[in-house]
Structure 1
Amino acid sequence: MSTITAAEPAEDAAHGVSLYRAIWRWHFFAGLLVIPFMLNLAITGSLYLFKDEINSTFFGYRYIVQPTGKTLPAARIAEIAASAVPGSTATSYKDPVLPERSAIVTVSGDAGSTLVFVNPYDGKVLGVVGSIDEFNYVVKRIHSLAYFGNTANRLIEIAGGFAMVLVVTGIYLWWPRRQTGGIVSVRGTPGRRVFWRDLHAVTGAFAGVLIFFLAITGMPWSGYWGANANAWLTEHGLGYPVQLWDDVPKSRKITEDILPKSGWIVEKAPVPLSDIAAAQSARPIGLDKAVEIAKRLGMAPGFDVAIPSDETGVYTASLYPEDLSDERTIHIDQYSGKPLIDIAFNQYPLLGRAIEWGINIHQGQEWGRFNQLLMLATCLAIVLSCVTAVVMWWKRRPAGRLGVPPMPPQRSVYYGLWVITGIFAIAFPMSGLAIVVMIAFDQLVVRFVPLLKRVLA
């Protein structure tokens, strides 16, 4: 028969306090490091959610046209676009998604890649803008920090992993522990710290699942995790169906090399080669015929067509729409017009479809206006969480010190947390490595350097 001593409840209480403080300390450090990145993601993400509305409102002069009869052939539109940028060659053509939309041609030359907007009815050039200077492209690149180079892009990948940590640790800290406020209600007034603490906790608790969703569905675009995840899925038969390429000659190019936009699952898929033997005797079918074939095969309006750059290239029609059931990529032999590869969304493996679905929701496209507003609300919740975190910290920090939550009394709690960190690091290496460095600095440096210990107290 066992005997329960009075020391056991006390030890349990001490362990609970230690765990709470350890997680609070993690939450504080993670938040301190990623607040600027989270604000950037939320603000630029909010803009990108409404890219179509922004295009129609601020750049309508190049996106909106008045339908006036029959449209010009695609090849003629491509010629007009190339002549608008001397020394350039058309590399892709975007079929108008609606009768009142312009055709968009990408041309390439010594000056780089350029977007030319053409009225498909009268051939008037409506606008010319560098591909990397187009507003929504710039917003998206700032969103991922790829605009500032690979190193900055890795930082945003780390921030995405930290966001997931913040959600999980934040829900643990919010979890009711006999308190009467700060669960679904906000106590006090803006002049008191408890008001900002409760506002921060309640916002995070109710928006946490959506914030976590945004963080994990944003990972496919990250430079390290995204590329490796795509390769792993393909290698294990969970990405694009590689068997479709078994009997087709392949080039060294991949789909994202030739198209302005494609589905994430197929962006690393190889581009086939046209019949090389036919290149000696046959003539290319031309852009008009390629567009006609894509439409005849059921490609929904708004698709892009990559134009072959040499005699072995293919025409590639691709659509990455709001309605994922219409997502499709068709590679067409430039001589015979034969579809070499025809892959649609319903052919992706289950996990591949799930990732594409998550990406589509992330971008506010899956359920129309409701999806946009839901993701906008999540972005605003992120901004509010960042602001309340800063105000809450400012009100509680001691003079001359950073105000880091205290070390846990029992260091043994870190053993279990190290295991959790290790598992997270396997799933998300960049973020996991950053967390390991953060904890090592906290445990091995701060503890033994009096100046740091005092400043971070």
Structure 2
Amino acid sequence: MSISLQGSTRSFRAAAAARTSRDAVYRAVWRWHFYAGLACLPFLISLSATGALYLFQPEINATAFAYRTRVAAPSTAPLGPDRLIFNAAQAVPGGTPVAYTDPADATASAMVTLADGARRILVYLDPYTGSVLDRVDRDGEFFMVLRRLHSLAYFGPWANAVIEIVAGFAIILVATGLYLWWPRGQDGGVVTIRGTPQRRVWWRDLHAVTGLAAGGGLFFLALTGLPWSIWWGDQFRAWTNAAGLGQPAALWAGKPVSNVPLGEMLTTAGWTLQDAPVPKSEGAGSAPGIGIDGAAAILARLGMPRGYELSLPVGPTGVFAAAYPRDVNRQRMISLDQYTGKALVDVHFADIGPVARAVQYGIGIHKGEHWGRVNQLAMLAFCLATILLAVTAGTMWWKRRPAGRLGVPPPPRDRRAAATVTGIVLGLGVLFPLTGLAILIMLGFDLAAGRTFRTRTA
């Protein structure tokens, strides 16, 4: 009998210890989930709101801005780009034409970009009559403003580092949120919502169920946004290129190139090629030059899709550089010798490395450009769900926080559990160093606050 009681006691103690350990891990994960949310939820709201609008750029341009982006069905042949550029230059005295955007279809307008000092002016034209439909400062164009808000570019180049940190924390949010959601015998909060909006549990369950539905989308948006980040994205692109998995370096082999990156000539160069060197024209003095109309005719003959952006040559060794940015599988970049019209570089999507193709597929889906309306609506749903996650998280925090305090979840008493979870979070920080640096700073503040609290209560 005593043996049975001893065995029962040991089993009870072991079960109690296991429950204590699980509770400690749960509290440690919850604490980091709170910190990650505190760091990035306001930014996730901004990113989601601006991103949701950007998904529907074609539709918004075709409705709200139809006066400058759409034209009447054609009754005559379109004018050549040279004439359109001339008309645009007349509309901006002193402006220098730098790029031409081909109409994407028969009822789309053409666009010419002119440099006026440091400014860039966009002039929209009817491609059939040559009339100017509108002109706008590029920095004031609606979707450029949206892009700069999305990337925090208005706050300086290093503000983009915040986006990189937020993306890393979003991945931590998804990982820790999945652990917190995992069913542990509760009746609600898994796929159902308990209570009413007056109760905190309703907001908790709505947050958990929304996170279950949208967590994968948030993870995808964060991961596919990282390639554009100021440090991680640049380092990742450099690695793919060095490993032969990005830019097709062989296409530049044996060709004279400038020190100008393609991204400075084309706004649509794309992630893989934005820092690729622009080749030099080799036929100086051999011919008067093919001209913009000649370049457009060559691009059409080479099968460049409509809607491409074409930058104009700068200086005697400059080239015509064209890029088609949308419809991932048809993306293409061509550089033409300005004198002979020879295609110095012709990069199809299939020519870039496998990692770069995967990245650009992800970016295309991120921007709603790959599977039409289904892609747009799916990304919109994830953006709206992210906003809902932020709102429910803020409401939960407000309802549970002690008056006058931040309301950080208490640390577990089991220091081993806290250290293990913190180590895993720091491991994610190694993958995304700017996020890791932010984690170390937060950890330092947390330890300092803990010491201060213990000193005051001693």
Instruction: State the TM-score bracket (shorter-chain normalisation).
Output: over 0.9
How far did residue 450 of structure 1 move? 2.4
Is 1:437 the counterpart of 2:441? The answer is: yes
Tell me which amino acid in the other structure corresponds to 2:63.
T
Is 1:258 paired with 2:258? no
CA 1:452–1:389 in 2, change beyond 3 Å: closer, same or farther?
farther
Query: Residue 269 of structure 1 is aligned with which of 276, 279, 303?
Result: 276
**CA distance, structure 2, for counterparts of residue 288 and residue 47 of structure 1:** 35
The answer (yes or no) to whether the contact 1:421–1:436 under 8 Å persists in 2 is no
Cα drift, residue 6 of structure 1: 4.5
C-alpha separation in 1, matches of 2:360 and 2:238: 15
Give, in angstroms, the shift of residue 452 of structure 1. 10
Q: 2:384 aligned with 1:380, yes or no?
A: yes
Which residue does 1:188 correspond to in 2?
195
Per-residue CA deviation, residues 228-273 of structure 1 (Å, 9 max, x unaligned), is 2111111111111111111111101111100121221111111100
Structure 2 residue 295 is the aligned partner of structure 1 residue 282: no
Partner residue of 1:65 out of 47, 50, 71? 71
Aligned to 2:450: 447
The answer to whether 1:347 aligns with 2:354 is no
* Offset of residue 308 of structure 1: 0.3
**Residue deviations 1:52-111, cap 9 Å, x none?**
111111111110111231111111111111221111111111110011011011111225
Given candidates 237, 244, 250, the residue that maps to 1:230 is: 237
Alignment of 1:97-176 (within 5 A): 97-110=104-117, 112-176=119-183
1:280 deviates by 2.9
TM-aligned CA deviation for residue 186 of structure 1: 0.3
Partner of 1:84: 91
SS at match of 2:290: coil
1:244 counterpart residue number: 251
Q: Does 1:335 align with 2:339?
A: yes
Instruction: Note the C-alpha offset of 1:332.
Output: 0.7
- Say whether residues 1:44 and 2:56 are aligned partners: no
Evaluate the alpha carbon distance shift between residue 355 and residue 118 of structure 1 in structure 2; reply closer, same or farther with a 3 A threshold.
same
What are the superposed Cα offsets for residues 149-185 of structure 1, whole Å, 9 maximum, x if unpaired? Answer: 1232211221111111111101100000010100000
Q: Distance in 2 between matches of 1:452 and 1:368?
A: 60
Unaligned runs of 5+ in 1: none
- Aligned counterparts of 1:207 and 1:373: Cα–Cα separation in 2: 13
| Closer/same/farther in 2, CA of residues 195 and 18 from structure 1, 3 Å limit | same
Q: Which residue pairs with 2:321 in the alignment? A: 316
Q: Which runs of 4+ in 1 moved over 6 A?
A: 451-454
Aligned pair 1:291/2:299, yes or no?
no
Query: Does 1:420 find its partner at 2:427?
Result: no
Aligned-partner SS, 2:140: coil
Give, in whole Å, the separation in 2 of the partners of 1:416 and 1:436. 15
Contact 2:158-2:230 at 8 Å conserved across structures: no
Once residues 376 and 38 of structure 1 are traced to their aligned partners in structure 2, the CA distance between those partners, rounded to angstroms, is 14
Q: CA deviation at 1:298?
A: 0.8
> 2:454 and 2:157 mapped to 1: Cα distance?
34
Which residue number corresponds to residue 410 of structure 1?
414
- Number of equivalenced pairs: 448
1:316–1:332 contact (8 Å) kept in structure 2: yes
One-letter code of the match for 1:165? Answer: I
Q: Structure 2: how far apart are the matches of 1:55 and 1:100?
A: 13
What amino acid sits opposite 1:156 in the alignment?
A: I
CA–CA separation in structure 2 for the residues paired with 1:70 and 1:451:
81
Q: Which residue type is aligned with residue 299 of structure 1?
A: M
The residue aligned with 2:375 is: 371
**TM-score when normalising by structure 2:** 0.95
Would the aligned equivalents of 1:14 and 1:409 in 2 still touch at CA under 8 Å? no
Mapped pair 1:33 → 2:39: yes
8 Å contact 2:328–2:369 — kept in the other structure? no
> CA contact under 8 A between 1:70 and 1:121: conserved in structure 2?
yes
Considering only aligned residues, what root-mean-square deviation do their CA atoms show, in Å?
1.6
1:357 and 2:357 correspond: no
**In 2: Cα distance, 1:434 partner to 1:289 partner:** 53
Please list the CA deviations of residues 396-451 of structure 1 after superposition, one character each: whole Å capped at 9, or x if unmatched: 11222222111111111233334323432232111121112212321x20111129
Q: Deviations over 1:311-352 (max 9, x none)?
A: 10110111011x212100011111111111111111122211
> What amino acid maps onto 1:378 in structure 2?
F
- Give, as a single letter, the amino acid of the residue that structure 2 aligns with 1:414: A
Cα contact 2:286–2:339 (8 A) shared by 1:
no
The separation in 1 between residues aligned to 2:164 and 2:139, in whole angstroms, is 21
Contact kept in structure 1, 2:95 and 2:116, CA below 8 Å: yes
| Kept in 2: contact 1:446–1:452 (CA 8 A) | no
**Identity, % of aligned pairs?**
48
Q: Distance in 1 between matches of 2:228 and 2:206?
A: 31
Query: TM (normalized to structure 1)?
Result: 0.95
For 1:267, the aligned partner's letter is Q
Separation of aligned partners in 2, 1:392 and 1:129? 44
Secondary structure of 2:21's partner?
Answer: helix
Give a deviation string over 1:202-240, Cα, whole Å, max 9, x none: 100111001100011011111111112111111111111
